[in-house]
Amino acid sequence: MDRVIIFDTTLRDGEQAAGGALTIREKLEIARQLERLGVDAIEAGFPFSSPGDFEAVSLIAREVRTPVVCALARAHPDDIDSAWEAVKQAKHPRLHLFLSASDIHLMYQLKKSREQVLETARDMVARAKQYTDDIEFSPMDASRTELEYLYQIVEAVIDAGATTVNIPDTVGYAIPDEFGSLIGGIFQNVPNINQAIISVHCHNDLGLAVANSLEAVRRGARQVECTINGIGERAGNASLEEVVMAIKTRQDFFNLTTGINTVQIYRASRLVSELTGFSVQPNKAIVGANAFRHESGIHQDGVIKVPITYEIMDPRTVGIPASSLVLGKLSGRHAFRERLAELGYSLSEEDLSHTFTAFKGLADKKKEVTDRDVESIIAQELRTVSEVYHLDCVQVSCGDRGIPTASVRLIGPDSQVLADAALGTGPIDAVYKAINRLVGVPNVLTEFSVKSVTEGIDAIGEVLIRIESEGVTYTGRGIDTDIIVASAKACVNALNRLLVVRRTAK
């Protein structure tokens, strides 16, 4: 069967989702999971956009060896040179150039003629070709570009050395049949099309990103650009898990395959959700909490008898745990390690000790510890951003007859012990005021959400917050059986992200 190249842009376009900023360490962790997932190419970032992005792309290029590592650049000499510097140490480097092509963009954004843009595209691909033979070019807003002009650009950049030409539906404007015809027209009207791979990059503004991508594949495109959980600019991108599982589940229709190790999909989804702070909606296809749950009695009866009656996929094929960890405070280190292995986690001795200590602490509070509890422990303990401030203790007093009061103690830089107390409209408001007073960084709380990780009265509570400072949004997460403590952890986590990012930018 023909093979579809899976090009993951979670670390570039996915991170552009408002409030989804990642630290360099978090980007590397996602990149390593994408490598385990088996993606063919990772778009690691946009090096010219910031020193942090440059550093992240450079680190991923050095550390991730199996996939192509791609750096994005505008069709401009400085961007191209910066992108190559960042990605040159990759085992398989790629430069991805983009330039607007639609008359709307040319008139109102670039203020250039078609001829000028065509010449720039040709010249910049030739410049990139001096660095590497693996060049991708994207005529931005292709789905709203006049077809004859689009054919001209595609032919010109292939002649100049582009080996992949990506056709982006930049604003999510296309309808599947229309987008399929656009791809078909490129194959029919570009004379040198057999010298390059045609790729597609679809946005989800009308909820059609996956449908458009699959129609393009049906019409001959052989690379799909997508993101984990479909995150990205505005309404997001084509969802990697949906594209991959559609091709896998309906091989009878597509007669195509991918190189994706599908059992790693669930872990990738959870990791990206945890690190970006974007929860996966329960009814999300493939990885949503309800994707393999059945409420109807008729459905339940059918699934119990023969799962295929109402399930077109086995949840184990995407890595969704089929069992539940039932360990308590008397469980030993060996049993804990074995269950981690069953869940797909391979930890160093240091990390195992760290998480086992947290597990024992949780087991003292709960009768049973489930798989989801353990995943939350790993998210909290191993993926915590570098701590400038550590939450040492929090104590609150509240009720309908008193003024909510919070006392907080933090361990700051150089092990300095900091303590303060504050009044608030509620216990969490008081905690946040005390923490903010101690840290002293102006910010505004823009989002606060709390949910139960597992079921029952002793469930772990997970708190997600977003704060904004100087126009930039930072996400914080905290987990604990006590919601007040989880909220304090989330606040400190968000402030640590803010401080780390500012230090990196200096």
* Residues 212-248 pLDDT 10s: 999 999 999 999 999 999 999 999 999 999 999 999 9
pLDDT digits (tens, 9 = 90+) for 455-499: 666 778 889 999 999 988 888 889 888 999 999 999 999 999 889
Instruction: Please report, rounded to a whole number, the percentage of residues in the chain having pLDDT higher than 70.
Output: 93
Instruction: Please report, rounded to a whole number, the percentage of residues in the chain having pLDDT higher than 90.
Output: 70
Confidence of residue 206 (pLDDT cuts 50, 70, 90): very high
The residue with greater pLDDT, 154 or 348, is: 154
- In this prediction, residue 368 carries a pLDDT of 73
> For 103-123, what is the mean pLDDT?
96
- In this prediction, residue 343 carries a pLDDT of 72
Please state, in angstroms and rounded to a whole number, the distance separating the CA atoms of residues 499 and 488.
Answer: 17
- In this prediction, residue 384 carries a pLDDT of 60
> For 322-339, what is the mean pLDDT?
69
- In this prediction, residue 328 carries a pLDDT of 67
Residue 385 has pLDDT above 70, yes or no: no
Confidence of residue 295 (pLDDT cuts 50, 70, 90): low
Residue 365 has pLDDT above 90, yes or no: no
The pTM score is: 0.84
Listed in sequence order, the DSSP H helices in 161-294 are 176-189, 209-218, 240-249, 251-254, 265-276
> For 14-39, what is the mean pLDDT?
92
Please state, in angstroms and rounded to a whole number, the distance separating the CA atoms of residues 245 and 256.
Answer: 11
> For 318-346, what is the mean pLDDT?
72
Q: What is the mean pLDDT of the chain?
A: 91
DSSP letters spanning 79-99: HHHHHHHHHTTSSSEEEEEEE
- Alpha-carbon radius of gyration of the chain: 25
- In this prediction, residue 219 carries a pLDDT of 98
> For 353-380, what is the mean pLDDT?
78
Confidence of residue 383 (pLDDT cuts 50, 70, 90): low
Residue 298 has pLDDT above 90, yes or no: no
Confidence of residue 373 (pLDDT cuts 50, 70, 90): confident
- In this prediction, residue 332 carries a pLDDT of 79
Residue 389 has pLDDT above 60, yes or no: yes
Half-sphere exposure of 14 (CA within 13 A, CB side): 29
Residue 191 has pLDDT above 60, yes or no: yes
Confidence of residue 374 (pLDDT cuts 50, 70, 90): confident
Residue 390 has pLDDT above 70, yes or no: yes
Residue 329 has pLDDT above 70, yes or no: no
Other CB atoms within 10 A of residue 314 CB: 12
- In this prediction, residue 218 carries a pLDDT of 98
Please state, in angstroms and rounded to a whole number, the distance separating the CA atoms of residues 206 and 173.
Answer: 7
pLDDT digits (tens, 9 = 90+) for 46-91: 999 999 999 999 999 999 999 999 999 999 999 999 999 999 999 9
CB contact set of 72 (below 8 Å; sequence gap of 6+): 12, 43, 45, 46, 47, 83, 96, 98
Residue 21 has pLDDT above 90, yes or no: no
Other CB atoms within 10 A of residue 317 CB: 15
Angle CA 203–246–185, to nearest 5 = 55
Confidence of residue 259 (pLDDT cuts 50, 70, 90): very high
- In this prediction, residue 501 carries a pLDDT of 79
Widest distance between CA atoms in the chain: 80
Residue 175 has pLDDT above 80, yes or no: yes
Please state, in angstroms and rounded to a whole number, the distance separating the CA atoms of residues 459 and 479.
Answer: 10
